[in-house]
Structure 1
Amino acid sequence: MKTKASIFILALLAAGAAQAQLYKWVGPDGKVTYSDAPPPKTAAKVEQKNIGASGAPSTAGLPYELAQAVNNHPVMLYTGDKCDPCNAGRAFLKQRGIPFSEKTVTTNEDIARFKQATGESSLPVLTIGRNKQAGFEESAWGSALTAAGYPKTSQLPKGWQQPAAEAAAPKAKVQQAEYSGKPATNNGPSAAAVPSLPPATGNAPPGFRF
């Protein structure tokens, strides 16, 4: 059975940005080629560079097959605070050696962006390219990752670091600062700009219920 945490949806915003990949390789004739399309199998000295949005995992230094999976079927994980299924899903991805982007859902803007991007009302949600998994179920996540070309065991190079998690709506504070004419602070937007989340149920954070 999939485990998940429900979330109240308050508003709708636009979805986030995607990432891209740049390839460099040397052909049989010695010619160096740059392209955003994957190189042919006969290519030598293949290099890849991540030119995507912040928070996206870099493919630099990854084995070719793993880098291809990341490029063709990028993995995104939506999580929340005090969410045991989210923690279990994150641990599973790290244990299997899956490079992924993590978006946290804690504010009204995050909730709205999450709804717009996934159409779901519960956490966690995992997207593997166009494949979506709502709720955590290890066997279902594992099968979806394998179908997308990800290895069954970790192939991450030594020293590889997972990118830090980012808010699902990271620009909310910047937009509020521009509107008010004042610098953004860590205290968050004013109550007028962002309505309060619904009260928590049990030990859940505001806006969530289990």
Structure 2
Amino acid sequence: MSKPLSTHLLASLLMTLACTSAQAQGVYRIVGPDGKVTFSDRPPADAQAPAAARSGGANAAASNGAALPYELKQIASRFPVTIYTGSDCAPCSSVRTMLSARGIPFTERTVATNEDIAALERLSGSSSLPFGTIGGQQLTGYSDVEWSQYIDAAGYPKQSQLPSSYRQPPATPLVAVKPVAPTAATPPKATAPTRPVPAAPTDGPTQSNPAGIRF
């Protein structure tokens, strides 16, 4: 269990949050023409990721059509909250429940595949879950006291101010796989026309050979 932050440390925390409010990004898996796989925090040029998958905070609310109160929208824009969760993870459920109860708009990334785990290690330096970011501040694991102190330092209200119409956007995978363009169907091979086989001569007289002569 983390200890409460001192007043001096809390002030330093607020300054750190203000100076490092870079928004957490999704990680995209890109397969090049040569088959080489690379990862980037920028979506490929030909793929348009949904707004909720690229950003947190205020944009997450915009994606579900609910307008945030002005003050909350400003805070969410400066210090967006993103959490990284896994299945069968009790602490992940705890941080999700705490944020929802507090009325904090957030973006959730799921970590399920080996590629997700590798991307998480590049982001956080470990594969521990839950992992979260508040602006540029990173948090590994879950402690109600620690998370609450960082959220307070960012300026989020202690009571929910979310409108009743607000719905949390669905969680999305950490690694967004670039869709593979369908290949053109191979046209069927043309078959050579068959030549008619001449009929074998018949024995006996015919209209053109009344004598039935065979050579």
Give the deviation of 1:170 after TM superposition: 1.9
Shift of 1:135: 0.3
In the alignment of these two chains, the number of paired residues is: 137
Cα distance in 2, alignment partners of residues 129 and 155 from structure 1: 20
Structure 2, unaligned stretches of length 5 or more?
3-36, 44-49, 185-215
Q: Which runs of 5+ in 1 are unaligned?
A: 3-11, 19-51, 183-210
Q: In the alignment, which of 127, 133, 157 is matched to residue 127 of structure 1?
A: 133
Partner of 1:36: none
**Residues 72-151 of structure 1 correspond to what in structure 2 (within 5 A)?**
72-151=78-157
The CA deviation at 1:167 is: 0.2
Range 52-61 or range 115-124, more displaced: 52-61
Say which structure is richer in strand: 1
- State the identity %: 41
Which runs of structure 1 show a deviation greater than 4 angstroms over 4 or more consecutive aligned residues? Answer: none
Distance 1:14 1:69, change over 3 A: farther
Instruction: Give the TM-score, by structure 2 length.
Output: 0.57
Q: 1:73 deviation in Å?
A: 0.5
Letter in 1 for 2:89: C
Q: Give yes or no for the alignment of 1:53 onto 2:51.
A: yes
Partner deviation per Cα, 1:51-86 (whole Å, 9 max, x = no partner): x83334125521111101110011000000100110
Higher-Rg structure is: 2
Q: What displacement does 1:109 show?
A: 1.3
Whether 1:14 and 2:39 are equivalent positions in the alignment is yes
Q: Give the TM-score of the pair, scaled to structure 1.
A: 0.59
CA deviation map 1:129-186 (0-9, x unaligned):
11111100001101101111111110001110111000000225x2xx34x859xxxx
- Letter paired with 1:132: Q
Q: 1:17 to 1:84 in 2, by over 3 A?
A: farther
In structure 1, distance between residues paired with 2:91 and 2:73: 27
Structure 1: how far apart are the matches of 2:38 and 2:140? Answer: 20
CA offsets, 1:67-123, max 9 Å, x none? 011100110000001001101111111010100000000001111221222223200
Whose helix proportion is higher, 1 or 2? 2
Counterpart of 1:166 in structure 2 is: 172
